[in-house]
Amino acid sequence: MQLTPSRKLVHEESASDAAILQILKWAAGAPGDFDAVRSVDEDALLLLIASHNLYSRFFRRVQKERPRWASRVLNIRAFTLNRFARHRIQQQIASLGEIVKSVPAVAGPVIPIKGLSIYALTGGDDNIRVSGDIDLFSKDPESLWEAMTRLGYATEEKRDKGSHVAVMYRGDVQVEIHRSFPVWSYPPGLAGADMRPEAHPGLWIQPFSDLRETSIHYQEIADESCPGVAPGTQDLTAPNPMMSALLLCVHAFRHYVEGQALESPIVRLGELADIHDLARHPQFDERRFHRLVNRFSAHDAVNFVQSLARQYLGAVPFRTPNPAGALSSDESPHETTSAPMLLSNWSGWTAPRTPDELLQRLNPKDVFDRLEPNRVAADGSWYIAASCHPKESGETQMLSRILVQSPARDQIPARLRAFWELDALRFEIEILRALPPGYRYQVLLYYPYKFQGSRPAGFEIPYSNVKWTEIGAHDLGNPAINTGAAHLSFEWSEMPAAFRPDRQVPIMTLVMKIRDGHESNVCFREDALLMLPLHVIPDKSY
């Protein structure tokens, strides 16, 4: 006999989850009414407190208000987390002081951003955060890198171009040296669009170009900097409250849009709470802040943060209306529930259902299933037309769910066949349209889950908001020159141990139209992208 949870148990679990999220927002500064809350899952609560970087805020508010759901054990654990946060930030301040003293004058003042720089500005206990790394800017990044190398920092990664210069570490202290700080904004027409998958059944054409980007560089940050005031930071330089608030808004927006939820929630309330504190700082000049927003085209980021703060904390940080586009406290062009986010690093857009789902890690199965994948039977002879045009005669059948991103509404007609074999699942994908010179097609298959533990050689987890694992890639070239089809497969033995090849397999198939010389796996694309979510089943039985 199969046992199922009782309605009472399901209701209690749902109520407990809701209480934890309410406490989480309360820890970040929202008002809270906990009359009906007697106890909570302390492990689940503290995991979220850590994920949202609310260590010190949670401890201080529990100590101040003494809510009855906070047991003696929870108080002790909160104290321990707070002590850890204090130790961590003091360790980073000491490491940064050593680095600053070692760099030559040509490197200019070394400036930390985000993380400990907020505490340096305020000296407030609430702003003690646990940062995984120290983000640094320098007038001469190469001199900074050389100085840190002499101090014993090892280089994990070094880049000749892009916003990051190097990632370095010594012991458990990690440092990222920045060349610039990217500021993302939506392409025209996207900010107010409803990008929930359920609002676009069947063929979903997304006629948007990709993200727009400007950058903030060292001198621009240095011009908006001041000495620290927190203990141990008086000799350090940090971005002033206006620049710090801008950088946090930009970071929160980018974190949401690109969906860095491999290991953390998409929205982190500690960051929102810090933005509120900066906006209340005695030196915060809102008109000067809005000039920075205009200068770096950060309106979408500030709009987004305003919407988040209103929904989670019940108040917005910035109050002065800005005619150039940043929000006043009374209006919002897009709420968090419909703010577009990248479906993956290949681009394509989607949106969450509710704000609260952003406070926890995204479930990749939910994200994939919300796309309403096609059910595709694979028996070696049945095939389907992944085409936006009328189907051809014969056995070819139309897929019902097709996603296309293309500013020119350019579609990519293709034919796909799936073969379910004893040792592997195989695919054959044929493009049915030639390209003009200078273009090629690339076909990729992704399994929408992250492999646990070791992975087969050559597999990689793309940078995306869903835990995708690449299972195949094939560069087709130009069908006008190269005929044939892409053949991709993966063996059942390469799947995780828990994977069973006797049930449906979720697969995301992508066909990219790419200009020669352009990278395919970036968020900034202008060419057509065909996305086919599939549930492949062993035979034709439904």
Closest CA to 313 of 352, 268, 348, 360: 268
pLDDT the model gives residue 480: 52
pLDDT the model gives residue 488: 77
Q: Distance (Å, rounded) from C-alpha 321 to C-alpha 342?
A: 29
Could you tell me where the beta strands, DSSP code E, fall in 44-172? 111-113, 134-137, 154-158, 164-170
Residue 457 identity:
A
Enter the tokens of residue 37: 């809350």
SS3 for 375-400, per residue? Answer: EEECCCCCEEEECCCCCCCCCCEECC
Closest CA to 126 of 93, 73, 82: 82
> What's the whole-model pTM score?
0.86
Q: Kindly give, in sequence order, each residue whose CB lies less than 8 Å from that of residue 21, ignoring residues fewer than 6 positions away.
A: 48, 356, 359
The C-alpha torsion from 512 through 517 and 521 to 527, rounded to 10°, is: -40
**Residue ranges of domains in the chain:** 98-320+337-370, 383-451+505-514+525-541
Closest CA to 343 of 240, 457, 462: 462
Compute mean pLDDT per 10 residues along the chain, 542 residues long, and list them: 40 68 95 82 94 95 93 95 94 95 90 94 93 92 94 90 90 93 93 90 89 94 96 94 97 84 73 96 95 95 93 87 44 57 77 86 77 80 47 61 85 81 81 77 73 35 40 58 66 62 75 70 62 80 47
Enter the tokens of residue 95: 């490491």
pLDDT the model gives residue 15: 59
Q: Kindly give, in sequence order, each residue whose CB lies less than 8 Å from that of residue 395, ignoring residues fewer than 6 positions away.
A: 381, 382, 383
SS3 for 528-541, per residue? Answer: CEEEEEEEEECCCC
Residue 466 φ/ψ, nearest 5 degrees: -125, 150
Q: Distance (Å, rounded) from C-alpha 179 to C-alpha 434?
A: 41
On whether the CB atoms of residues 353 and 341 are closer than 8 A, the answer is no
Q: Distance (Å, rounded) from C-alpha 343 to C-alpha 101?
A: 44
Mean pLDDT estimate for the chain: 80
Closest CA to 163 of 215, 200, 87: 215
From residue 351, give the alpha-carbon distance in Å to each of 62, 194, 358, 386. 34, 8, 10, 24
Residue-wise pLDDT tens digits, 403-457: 888 888 877 878 888 888 878 888 888 877 777 777 778 787 777 665 443 333 3
On whether the CB atoms of residues 238 and 225 are closer than 8 A, the answer is yes
pLDDT the model gives residue 262: 45
